[in-house]
Amino acid sequence: SLKGVDLLAEIQRLKRERNAVILAHYYQKPEIQDLADFVGDSLDLSRKAAATDAEVIAFCGVRFMAETAKILSPEKTVILPDMEAGCSLEDSCPPDQFAAFRKAHPDHIALTYINCSAAVKALSDIIVTSSSAQTILDQIPLDQKIIFGPDRHLGGYLARKTGRDMLLWPGICIVHQAFSETELLKLKAEHPGAPVAAHPECPPHIVEHADLVGSTRAILEFALSSPADTILVATEPHIIHQMEKAAPNKRFIGVPGGDGNCNCNMCPYMALNTLEKLYVALRDLQPRIELSPEVMKAARVPLERMLEMAG
Ligand code: 13P
Ligand code: SF4
């Protein structure tokens, strides 16, 4: 039993003992964000994982993020507090079906959102994150045909924004899909002039009301730099922790999902990670990301293209 264990002190002790770095996504619980060495969006977390000289990466995020860290730093031990921390976008795109889709469209390249399995990355040409997708897309010749997966809302947003026609895989994020347009319009009426920041995983009926559409880091930067004193946030609400820490006098309001009375705007996968599980993972160096050498080698190519092209 972990009763009586001073988790924060023990995590710090084990971190030193193991020569570990703790990386956390903005959707993690506040107590995890607060003890992490670095908190970031998917692209920044990938860069940190590729550059760290720690021996162990304790990844507080979801599995595809920890797998990315392992692929970019194969000699490191990468632990994830809960191996069940998946992602609905990953689930929407089984590698065998993705391989068949590619085969059916041999003249298309696969531009693939990082929210997917290592096996799907291994079948892709270039990986993108929400913060790098447009920069990368702009470097691909206009006559090049493109498959974009697995997030159809990010793909659709990019297609509308750039005027490019891409073949979209029909995946969605269950969290961003749930944001309610009715609740958002109610909030806008209650807070006249409050700007809206939305993640591109949101469906078009949310994105069309947004003043900023961007990655978690872009949303955070917008919220902090906006002169407005109230900001409406259409992404997973744990990011509001960073906003409140940096700007305690501003008001950040998370847009509700569903009928406004559910917790469905929170990511159930991200929520699986806890301080207790992080402590156990550092103690036992388990659960650990293990991938076949073939998949790692193949998945590394499109991930390195991403890091290069993202600038
Ligand atoms: P970011 O790259 O914006 O951090 O997005 C990660 C994610 O899973 C959003 O749901
Ligand atoms: Fe996946 Fe959505 Fe959770 Fe992000 S918020 S990890 S896209 S399920």
Architecture of domain 7-85+270-292: 3-Layer(aba) Sandwich (3.40)
Going by alpha carbons, the residue nearest to atom 6 of ligand 1 is: 42
Question: Does 265 have pLDDT greater than 90?
Answer: yes
Q: Which of the four pLDDT bands, split at 50, 70 and 90, describes residue 28?
A: very high
How far is Cα 172 from Cα 169, in angstroms, rounded to an integer? 9
200 is in an annotated binding site: yes
Question: Does 294 have pLDDT greater than 80?
Answer: yes
pLDDT computed for residue 3 by the predictor:
84
How far is Cα 214 from Cα 197, in angstroms, rounded to an integer? 8
How far is Cα 270 from Cα 29, in angstroms, rounded to an integer? 8
CATH T-level assignment (fold) for domain 89-172+298-310? Rossmann fold (3.40.50)
pLDDT tens for each residue of 49-90: 999 999 999 999 999 999 999 999 999 999 999 999 999 999
Distances (CA, A) of 13 to 10, 53, 198, 282, 283: 5, 18, 38, 10, 10
Q: Which two tokens stand for residue 261?
A: 């009375």
- Tell me if 205 sits within 8 A of 241, measured CB to CB: no
pLDDT computed for residue 263 by the predictor:
85
Neighbouring residues of 167: CB distance < 8 A, sequence distance ≥ 6: 105, 108, 145, 146, 147, 148
Cα of 275 from ligand 1 centre, angstroms: 21
Quote the mean pLDDT of the chain: 97
pLDDT tens for each residue of 152-210: 999 999 999 999 999 999 999 999 999 999 999 999 999 999 999 999 999 999 999 99
pLDDT tens for each residue of 234-243: 999 999 999 9
- Tell me if 117 sits within 8 A of 64, measured CB to CB: yes
pLDDT computed for residue 262 by the predictor:
87
Question: Does 288 have pLDDT greater than 80?
Answer: yes
How far is Cα 86 from Cα 174, in angstroms, rounded to an integer? 12
The number of the ligand nearest the C-alpha atom of 85 reads 2
Question: Which CATH entry fits the domain spanning 179-254: 3.40.640.10, 3.40.50.970, 3.80.10.10, 3.40.50.10800?
Answer: 3.40.50.10800
pLDDT computed for residue 112 by the predictor:
98
Domains of the chain by residue range: 7-85+270-292, 89-172+298-310, 179-254
Instruction: Name residues contacting ligand 1 (CB within 6 A).
Output: 41-42, 115, 129-131, 173, 199, 201, 215-216
Cα of 41 from ligand 1 centre, angstroms: 6
How far is Cα 39 from Cα 241, in angstroms, rounded to an integer? 11
Ligand 2 within 6 A of CB of 172: no
User: What is the rounded average pLDDT of the residues 122-130?
Assistant: 98
Cα of 289 from ligand 1 centre, angstroms: 20
Q: Which residues in the chain belong to E strands, given as ranges? A: 20-25, 38-40, 56-60, 77-79, 108-113, 126-128, 145-149, 167-168, 196-198, 212-213, 230-234, 251-254
pLDDT computed for residue 243 by the predictor:
98
73 is in an annotated binding site: no
Whole-model pTM? Answer: 0.97
For the beta sheet containing 108-113, the strands, ordered from the edge strand earlier in sequence to the opposite edge, are 126-128, 108-113, 145-149, 167-168
Q: Which of the four pLDDT bands, split at 50, 70 and 90, describes residue 260?
A: confident
Q: How large is the greatest C-alpha to C-alpha distance in the chain, in angstroms? A: 63
pLDDT computed for residue 259 by the predictor:
87
Question: Does 2 have pLDDT greater than 90?
Answer: no
